[in-house]
Every structure is written in C-alpha cells, then in structure tokens.
C-alpha cells in the first residue's frame, strides 16, 4: 500500500482507480457500527476515520486513497521535487525482483 500511495502521489495521479475516499468513509461507518455494537474501541481506527473524514471534507472525496498523503503537505502544495526524486527510486527498488 505504501508503494502504491507514494508512487501515485509522486507523479500526481490522484484519480480514483477503485474505491474513493467517500466510498471508504461509508465502509468505515459500517465498521464503526459493528465495533460499537460489540463495545470494541480501537484507538487507531478512530484516528484513521478522522483522517478520512478530513480528506472527504477538503475536496478529496472523489479521489483515490493515495490522496491522503496530501494531508501531510503544506496547504496548496504539491509533493516537492526533492521528495519525488527521493521516493520514486526507492519504490522502483522495492518492486525489483
């Protein structure tokens, strides 16, 4: 998942290729309901839901989950060239047989 997300962000490809942020938020609501009915309170799930909810309300609802990476960039910025240049070779190396 990391390779996929970083690779897509590095080249600016945030168009959904399956589940959108909004679609995943809907699934998370159902999971939250199931967890609540069983009195389970997973701490990481709560934080993850907050991240998805924020993405959905900041214009990323119809984007791919890779777009979540943009939440960690300064407002209005793209992935910096130096990071893109550092990330892409690492991803390619991880993919090598």
- The two tokens of residue 80 are 């910096």
Domains and CATH numbers, the chain: 2-95 (1.10.1040.10)
**Which pLDDT tens digits describe the chain residue by residue (97 residues)?**
667 777 777 777 778 877 788 999 999 999 999 999 999 988 888 888 888 888 888 788 888 888 887 666 555 555 556 555 555 554 455 445 5
C-alpha–C-alpha distance, residues 15 and 67, integer Å: 9
Q: Which residues have C-beta within 8 Å of that of residue 79, sequence separation ≥ 6?
A: 9, 10, 12, 69, 73, 87
Q: How far apart are the first and last CA of the chain?
A: 17
Rounded to two decimals, the pTM is 0.63
């Amino acid at each position: 998942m990391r390779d996929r997300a970083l690779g897509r962000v590095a080249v600016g490809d945030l168009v959904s290729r399956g589940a959108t942020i909004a679609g995943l938020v809907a699934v998370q609501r159902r999971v939250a309901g199931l967890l609540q009915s069983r009195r389970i309170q997973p701490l990481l799930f709560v934080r993850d839901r907050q991240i998805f909810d924020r993405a959905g309300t900041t214009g990323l609802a119809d984007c791919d989950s890779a777009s979540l990476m943009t939440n960690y960039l300064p407002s209005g910025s793209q992935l910096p060239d130096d990071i893109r240049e550092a990330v892409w070779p690492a991803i390619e190396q991880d993919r090598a047989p």
